[in-house]
Amino acid sequence: MGALPDRAVAMLAAVHDHPGLTRAEASRLLGMGTGGAAEVVGVLVAEQLLAEGSPLPATTRGRPTRPLTAHPDGPVVLAAAFSHATWRVDAVELGGTSIATLDGEHAGESAGTVLGVLGDAVGRLRDRLGDRVRGLGVSAPGIVTDERYLDATILGWRSVDLAAVWPGAGLFVADNDATLAAVAEVRRGAAAGARSALHLMVDAGLGGAQVDAGRLVGGAHGTAGEFGHLPLGDPAVVCACGARGCWGTAVDGGALARLLGDPVPADPGGYARSVIARDDAAARAAVATVATSLGRGIAGLVNALDPDVVTLGDLAADLLAAAPDELHAAVAAGLMRSRREAPPTVVAAALGAAGPITGAAERVWDRWWAQLRR
């Protein structure tokens, strides 16, 4: 497909960002006249990029209005996500709805094996959906440079080319899982409408990202957000990255194991959740200590980055649920006096485990909008 007029692309993006948007609402949102909006919608419907749904119940006199929806034969993007143990691939239509999912587990095999499994899943969805597929986004647990190359300490991978999942993808983007979850929370989650949002995610490590005025703060190399490697932990503890005292080592399953005198867990996330689920005094004290460490670090980031919303994903959300008083008290105690008067909202991420794959899809849609405008 060739380029579209800017107002047609704006209409597509508006329908994507606001599921259920009607033609009249889109007209007002985009500053178009009703006739112009009708013309644009007509073109997009003819191109099988949009459809008009069933009439909505009338609330005023006049013609019933119809929501603008994804066309049943319209464009989709593929989004893949994997952790240290699981993988998933979704096909996502306009509006953000997943219309097909393939998933499974892996046991930390080689990069070639895991990417091969993802590639097979992507191929199956491409076979099913044909030329409707516009591109692929990949969420990965580690540092991703040039939106393509992965260093994943927990998996022992170095400079892995994630584009191998679909070498011929016309549109391809890859990024860190916490970064993509941040994008998703701003677009479709608990940080929607925030001027500046900070997302933190704890699993086998701690990562995050800031989205400011709708734009991801990526840094010079696109790797900003490795907050888990701030020196806020115990200097006696060596991180897998090679540094001492990383904050991530004070807020994960390994931290809980040290506090409880247990061996280093093979599955830090699973171990942490088992401890959080316990009701004995030792477990509660360990969880409170780790939640306090998380809260202190959040306060430091709030002082430095000035977000109005902080969303917590994965184990960080579990710690908030298990020890809210300790976490919030640590945040409050660490804030500058001026920030205590207007503290940010600290909440669990709304999208949960779906955050990274949702963000991966959103990034591909962004690329497609740009391509359509060329």
* Average of per-residue pLDDT values in the chain: 93
Q: Which amino acid is at 315?
A: L
All structural domains of the chain, each given as residue ranges with its CATH number in brackets, are 6-70 (1.10.10.10), 76-181+355-373 (3.30.420.40), 192-350 (3.30.420.40)
Share of the chain above pLDDT 70, in %: 97
pLDDT of residue 62: 56
Q: What would the pLDDT profile of 13-44 be if each residue is shown by its tens digit? A: 999 999 999 988 998 999 988 888 889 999 99
CB-based contacts of 73: which residues, under 8 Å, 6+ apart? 48, 132
DSSP 68: E
pLDDT of residue 106: 86
Averaged pLDDT, 255-268: 95
SS3 221: coil
Whether the CB-CB separation of 369 and 189 falls below 8 Å is answered with no
State the pTM of this model: 0.92
Q: What would the pLDDT profile of 50-107 be if each residue is shown by its tens digit? A: 999 877 766 555 566 789 999 999 999 999 999 888 999 999 999 999 999 999 998 7
pLDDT of residue 156: 87
DSSP per-residue string spanning 120-171: HHHHHHHHHHGGGEEEEEEEESSEEETTTEEEEGGGTEEEEEGGGGSTT-SS
Q: What would the pLDDT profile of 169-228 be if each residue is shown by its tens digit? A: 999 999 999 999 999 999 999 999 999 999 999 988 899 999 999 999 988 888 889 999
Distances (CA, A) of 143 to 2, 27, 151, 160, 171: 34, 41, 5, 10, 20
Q: What would the pLDDT profile of 313-325 be if each residue is shown by its tens digit? A: 999 999 999 999 9
Look at 276 and 59; give whichever has higher pLDDT. 276
- pLDDT value at 4 more than 90: no
Plot region of 270 (φ>0 → left; ψ -120 to 50 → alpha; else → beta): alpha
Residues 253, 181: Cα–Cα separation, whole Å: 21
pLDDT of residue 154: 81
Q: What angle do CA 281, 282, 288 make, to 5 degrees?
A: 85
124 phi and psi angles, rounded to 5 deg: -65, -40
Place of tokens 């107002």: 7
- pLDDT value at 247 more than 70: yes
- pLDDT value at 128 more than 70: yes
Q: Which amino acid is at 272?
A: A
Residues 294, 297: Cα–Cα separation, whole Å: 5
pLDDT of residue 64: 64
